[in-house]
Amino acid sequence: MTTDTDTTAAKPKKTPQQKALSLIKTILIYGLMFAVIYTAVNWWRQPVMPANPQLQLTDYQGQSIDLAALSNDKPALVYFWGTWCPVCRVTSPTIDTLAAANDYPVVTIAIQSGSDQTLHSYLSEHKYRFTTINDQEGEIFADWQGQVTPSYVILKEGEMAQGLTGIQPLWSLKLRLWLSSVF
């Protein structure tokens, strides 16, 4: 005795609307996963403000920089980078644009990037105009427990308001500085 029963029932085909909703749902899920992972990694790698931070520094040209005073009126961005850092080659032009806009104080700290003259040559070659402190031995970066370059710290009234790492677009930095000024 044979029976003609088909155990594999055909699934109804999805309509274009159902396919679009499924795609949007997948993108949102993966986007949310990325955002959570990115935030966790950024939080883990961000610099940490030392208990007694050295906020009185001297740039590579001998000018005194008071980070606490710079951050009193508006939040100030401190950008840790190196001439040897390939990612910094992407982020430094953004920092130069932000510094040139003069909306917020920007101070950069070049980590283990050679002598003052070597650093000056690098900055001139790339036409960077931002204020730069030469951390020849990496002591300032180590004091902030920096792990990766580039790293960013937003100071407000001499205290760390935010810490970031990696590639940050200009709009993100401006938004973070503005939020730090409001809250």
What length does the chain have? 183
Q: What average pLDDT does this structure show over 104-128?
A: 98
Q: What is the pLDDT of residue 12?
A: 84
pLDDT of 7: 57
Output the pLDDT for position 5.
56
**pLDDT at residue 67 above 90?**
yes
- Which of 42-51, 134-143, 168-177 bottoms out in mean pLDDT, i.e. has the lowest? 42-51
Q: What is the pTM of this model?
A: 0.82
State how far Cα 110 lies from the chain centre. Answer: 15
How far apart, in Å, are the Cα atoms of 52 and each of 16, 107, 135? 61, 19, 18
Q: What tens digit of pLDDT does each residue of 134-159 get?
A: 999 999 999 999 999 999 999 999 99
φ and ψ of 66, to 5 deg: -110, 100
- Give CA–CA dist 129/107, Å, rounded: 11
Whether the pLDDT of residue 1 is over 60: the answer is no
What is the pLDDT averaged over residues 71-83? 97
How confident is the model at residue 40, as a pLDDT?
A: 85
pLDDT level of residue 38 (50, 70, 90 thresholds): confident
Average pLDDT (36-43) is 83
Coil, strand, or helix at residue 168? coil
Can you tell me the distance from the alpha carbon of 156 to that of 33, in angstroms, rounded to the nearest whole number?
A: 31
- Write down all domains in the chain, each with its CATH number in brackets: 56-182 (3.40.30.10)
